Amino acid sequence: MATETKESIFFDYDRKNLSDDVLITLYKRMLKPRLIEEKMLILLRQGKISKWFSGIGQEAISVGISSVLNKEEYILPMHRNLGVFTTREIPLHRLFSQWQGKASGFTKGRDRSFHFGTQEYNIVGMISHLGPQFGVASGIALGNLLKNNDQVCAVFTGEGGTSEGDIHEALNVASVWQLPVLFCIENNGYGLSTPTEEQYRCENLADRGKGYGMESHIIEGNNVLEVFSQVTDIVESMRKDPRPVLLEFKTFRMRGHEEASGTKYVPAELMETWAQKDPVLNFESYLLSEGILSETKIATYKAEIKNEINAGLDIAFAEEVIESTESDELNDVFQEFIYQKVSSKLETKELRFVDAISEGLKQSMERHDNAVIMGQDIAEYGGVFKITEGFVEAFGRERVRNTPICESAIVSATMGLSINGFKAIMEMQFADFVTSGFNPIVNYLAKCHYRWDQNADVVIRMPCGAGVGAGPFHSQTNEAWFTHTPGLKVVYPAFPYDAKGLLATAIEDPNPVMFFEHKALYRSIRQEVPTDYYTLPLGKAALLKEGNDLTIITYGAGVHWALEVLENNNYSVDLLDLRTLSPLDTEAIYTSVKKTGKVLILQEDSMFGGIASDISALITENCFEHLDAPIRRVASLETPIPFAQNLENNYLPKTRFEETLAELLAY
């Protein structure tokens, strides 16, 4: 770890035609993260910082790659890539404040260590789950390709992370779409305590490139000149001929996974061997031996950097502990969006639910030329529900993209597109399959604005719901998974008019929106719908029927079940169609409940943990004095969704709804 000069030089450095200036710059750029780390280890021992993930011994990779990329080209680093942040010249006091959870950092104290991004420096930091970074990089690269800007983006992972499905999916997508991403694997021997032989079975991870149909290279990661020269050639070629390239950098993790976890499980000989290959000391010795560097200069550079570190630390330590208010915290979950009402002319035509969605989507694509739709079989085939039929002819294959069966990587790619200035719409073939893309939705899209002010301008369309005899894996209505997650908006229309207008707003809205479309309504529900583009506000329920004796609160298919029952009975009830579940129109709910004094909440999903329970709790907390009867919830059975029609009918709450309604009215 020490930075004293060593005698022997392990690497055969080949400077090619690089100037002395470039060599000195590379040296100083490696020295800076090394000296910062050494200081951090001291502060850690003094209890002045809480956790440290060390990249000591891996500096040549971060510095080499960041030195090749232009400033406007995005880099997506991981937890051992301090050299990326310092090479991009982020002021040190801001980095230190970030690590101390202070206001001058990048996350207002909301996330730790390297878990942040900054558009100012074109850096997109990791989330703890590691794997999604590759998909986000693919989305950014897709944006670059669509902008035709000849830019490359680079993304990092450790060899442990390469075992994650996200990584495989992203490599596959990038290869199929020929996206200009430099996928960098830092193979440092261990993933936490797991050695490479327990992580994968191929000899080199670069060999996997062949399987993805992707060019790949193995690079000596501790030799900064090899990293810099090879990456320079590769990146220059990628800018001219956009394509993904997989790089495996051989290196070693010289310290514990994080400082507290130690390195007991690493054989001493391995440590010794790799200590011989220290990227900073070797390069220093080489520069000394070539007369490019002198001991005096080394001392000067170190003093300069140490002064910079100490000055940065003084600022960061002097900064007050961060304060916030409840409203500041809540206000940052979403990017501000001021709803613009767009009214349509009077002309209407009768449309099925499915056609209204298709028309709304098409008009949004016309309106936003930065909008891209992605999904399985959505291009020429038009999607399994034919919603995007004819879209390729209208907008081209660049903007209407068939995807491989890679839900996770595509969700991550929507995030990358958004970072790069696009609007991304994804069609989940069936809402059930969202499980395969769950992680980036709830961890990346939902948390990004709160964490570092980066919005996810994404709409995920979710064809959902039962009643179509499709069994346990093509019938779920899983909105509760998302209403539970702060940072997501959840829309769930029941009529063609609402579906078209709400979809337009969801696409206008710069925040992530889960847009539920009930499959059983697609071809059964028709309505007169304005032919032009129009918007409807999110978070506003619709009062479909007015009465005095009871309030029915529901959404989606439930609205139609309720309407059918009310058609056959002469009840005086309010029927509230929520239309949006997050944000929830609590005002409309409370107003109605206060008038009628009785409430039945109907949801298609099974009961426990569903939104009906939360609405019930809210009503109890806010309208208790107005209630004349216990709140009733009606929902599907606590079973998976059965296939056979009579079983499915029994599973769904339609009959139980009718009975409960009669009971509650009679209470």
CB 132 to ligand TPP: min, Å: 9
Q: Which residues contact 348 (CB under 8 A, 6 or more apart)?
A: 528, 529, 530, 531
> 67-90 burial, b for 16+ CB within 10 Å, e for fewer?
bbbeeebbbbbbbbbbbbbbbbeb
Is the omega angle on the peptide bond into residue 244 within 30 degrees of 0, that is, cis? Answer: no
The pair of structure tokens assigned to 650 is 């029994």
The SS3 of residue 614 is helix
CB 80 to ligand TPP: min, Å: 5
Residue 252 or 391 having the CB closest to ligand TPP: 252
- Annotated active-site residue in 474, 484, 560, 626: 474
Computed on alpha carbons and rounded to an integer, the radius of gyration of the chain in Å comes to: 29
Where along the sequence are the contacts to ligand TPP (CB under 6 A)?
80, 128-130, 157-161, 188, 190-192, 253, 257
- Roughly what angle, to the nearest 10 degrees, separates helices 611-623 and 586-596? 60
Is the omega angle on the peptide bond into residue 583 within 30 degrees of 0, that is, cis? Answer: yes
- β-pair partners for 514: 460, 490
Amino acid letter, 404: P
Distance CA 25, CA 224 (A): 11
Report phi then psi at 220, rounded to 5: -70, 105
Residue 128 or 572 having the CB closest to ligand TPP: 128
Distance CA 105, CA 29 (A): 21
Residue 158 or 539 having the CB closest to ligand TPP: 158
Question: Is position 474 annotated as part of the catalytic site?
Answer: yes
CB 442 to ligand TPP: min, Å: 13
Handedness of CA 101, 158, 413, 517 (dihedral sign): negative
Residue 130 or 206 having the CB closest to ligand TPP: 130
Residue 114 or 430 having the CB closest to ligand TPP: 114
Using the structure block, give the residue that is written with the tokens 């996206």: 179
Distance CA 159, CA 216 (A): 15
The SS3 of residue 568 is coil
Residue 113 or 157 having the CB closest to ligand TPP: 157
CB 548 to ligand TPP: min, Å: 53
Residue 161 or 209 having the CB closest to ligand TPP: 161
Residue 205 or 361 having the CB closest to ligand TPP: 205
Distance CA 282, CA 314 (A): 32
Using the structure block, give the residue that is written with the tokens 């969202």: 434
CB atoms within 10 A of CB 469: 15
CB 561 to ligand TPP: min, Å: 40
CB 57 to ligand TPP: min, Å: 11
Distance CA 53, CA 185 (A): 17
CB 185 to ligand TPP: min, Å: 9
- Roughly what angle, to the nearest 10 degrees, separates helices 20-45 and 224-240? 110
CB 58 to ligand TPP: min, Å: 8
Catalytic residue set: 474
